[in-house]
Structure 1
Amino acid sequence: MVSPSRFNEKKEKILKLLDTPAGEYHDLSPKGSVDEPIRSLISDINSIEGLVTTSSCSGRISVFLEGKKRHVQTLDAQHGDEGSRTSPGGKGGGSWLFISHSRVEVPKSGPQTDLLSKFGIQRSSGTGDSSPTVESSYIHLKFEPMILHILTASLEYANRVLTVGLHAGFRESGAVSLSPFQAGELNPMVAIRSTGYSFDAIIGYQDRCGSNIALVDNDYLRTLVDIANERFKINSERIARFSSFLLKQRMQSQSDESPSFNVSTRRDWEDADVRRRRKREEGLTRQRALQKDSSATSTALDPESVESVNINGLFS
């Protein structure tokens, strides 16, 4: 059992907040609540002793308008315009034009949905639009996979959650807060994430009149959405693996109060990179074994038989 601690107090507060009725609950995410696709996963994690989720996103397709760049904001402030301040990547300001935590359906036949309008962008008129520059606020179409932040009661809990995340395919997962908070208490935060299949494409910009102008056509935008939808499939598969592995290998209390995993030796699934490395190591092992056998065979040759070996041409 995990003894009463700062961790337990924090977990109790988080669970109380999550129990707030849907109409009253609101968090700092753009959506303002836990994403529906991972509600059951969040519940399962929080039911495990020593773990509690602090933030999450199930994965999303979004269209994001950057805020004004810092140097542009400074110039505008001199003229009385206190526009939103942001860095070149769009952080620290800007606005969401579209967010979906599931696939964006695009008809494959018949009249095609105008994705530009769906994403709050208009076609360039070709006349009055100002040309984009490095100072412009750009519009991004993004796909971002699931990310979970899980507070843990100890380094042992963190290590086991991290192992499950990596095994499920979330390769960029990691842990922070590895130094004791107080009185030797250690509550690492584990981030379960995989950024390798996320993407960010610039599809438009905001002109000087405040209009959102497209830099791509509707066909190209449809291609980007199709790619994002395919990555949603990968995202869902990894979430399912993580959930399955976590529940099968969940922590159980022991007499020494140390968490343990019932790690299965059965290979239910193997990440492509892990399999590639394993196959390579197996191949090298076989090669070394063959070389060793060959060397042993050569050493064991009868000296008198060496004379019968045809050496013509060996040094030509």
Structure 2
Amino acid sequence: MDRSAEFGRWKAQSLSKADLSRKGSVDEDAVDVVELLNSREEFFTTSSCAGRILLLDGSTNGSGVQKQHCCWLLVTHKPCAKNDVMAALKGATSDAVLKFEPFILHVQCRTLQDARTLHSVAVDSGFRNSGITVGTRGKIMLAVRSTHGLEVPLTHKGKLMVTEEYIEFLLTIANQKMEENKRRIGRFYTCLQHAVKRETISNSHSKIKEKNNPLCTRKNRRNQGKAHDPSTTEDNGRELEADGLEISAALFLGDD
């Protein structure tokens, strides 16, 4: 199957699925980014979170490993007040943890070059922990993420282990991280707009040049003929893969 057609099929299937997140919809601060990416033929988003402050009870098993079934005492995508946290802590019966989780976005990309373009946008916008993975079926995924999170335990077996003053201090930090997170999303959206505009102009100029240049036309016809040669396709694939290793993102080969 043609790779472009297969990518289109994956995109149609993904965007037609119901949103299975707890919220059931895209977060307000991430809507513009998600809609812009999904409007482009070379991208589609598979999951996103604009960033949140949350309070989880029973979130670890004592060894720092995340438990599957924990109680969400509080979750907000906006700045959080101390009174809200104190009220939510009354429901804690185990080890409650206050967390700030920054913006994260997963995007499937049509080609490795498309992923590299988007990775540059992410890094330039402050999401320096972003990375690319290539699946065994050829799916190219970009994860947009950063490292300015926060995770602090507040209770043990339901007992509050810190003072209210310390909780207020933590929330000041968490709220500052939330504001910085929002600024980074704004920069990402602006940089993404410029990037796709440059890409559109570049593609348009290339098509006009090719149409008006008979040498380009003959060259492309020869290349199309070579595409049917398995050895040529394999060599091109190795060149593309080697080229992809030059990006600053982590490039892994994993399962889809």
What residue number does 2:139 align with? 187
Q: What residue number does 2:111 align with?
A: 154
Equivalent-residue separation in structure 1 for 2:175 and 2:108 (angstroms)? 30
Instruction: Give, in whole Å, the separation in 2 of the partners of 1:121 and 1:88.
Output: 21
1:48 partnered with 2:24: no
> Do 1:69 and 1:137's aligned partners in 2 also have CA atoms closer than 8 Å?
no
Which residue is equivalent to 1:166? Answer: 123
TM (norm. structure 2) is 0.71
CA gap 1:37/1:46 in 2 versus in 1, 3 angstroms:
same
Q: CA deviation at 1:34?
A: 1.5
* Equivalent position amino acid for 2:176 in 1: E
Residue aligning to 1:33: 25
Gaps of 5+ in 2: 211-219, 221-256
Residue 88 (1) aligns with residue 64 (2): yes
- Structure 1 segment 155-234 matched on structure 2, within 5 A: 155-177=112-134, 181=137, 186-195=138-147, 197-206=148-157, 212-234=158-180
Unaligned runs of at least 5 residues, structure 1: 18-24, 71-86, 107-112, 123-135, 207-211, 258-316
2:181 aligns with 235
Q: Deviations over 1:216-252 (max 9, x none)?
A: 2222111111110001111011101100000111132
State the distance in 1 between where 2:189 and 2:118 align: 11
The two structures, once aligned, show a CA RMSD in angstroms of 2.6
Over the matched positions of the two proteins, sequence identity in percent amounts to 30
Aligned twin of 1:116: 86
Contact 1:61–1:99 (CA under 8 A) maintained in structure 2: yes
Q: Which has the higher contact order (CA 8 A, sep 6+)?
A: 2
Matching residue of 1:264:
none
Q: Distance in 1 between matches of 2:195 and 2:89?
A: 42
> Greater helix percent: which structure?
2
Q: Is the 8 A contact 2:4 2:110 kept in 1?
A: no
Cross-structure match for 1:301: none
CA contact (8 A) 1:115 1:222 kept: no
Larger Rg: 1
Corresponding position: 1:58 with 2:50: yes
Deviation readout 1:81-135 (Å, 9 max, x if unpaired) = xxxxxx73324231211110111145xxxxxx3631134457xxxxxxxxxxxxx
Using the size of structure 1 for normalisation, the TM-score is 0.58
1:280-301 Cα deviation digits (max 9, x unpaired): xxxxxxxxxxxxxxxxxxxxxx
1:100 to 70, 76, 79: 76
Task: Please tell me whether the aligned partners of residues 59 and 97 of structure 2 are also in contact (alpha carbons under 8 angstroms).
Answer: no
Cα distance between partner residues in 2 of 1:156 and 1:67 = 39
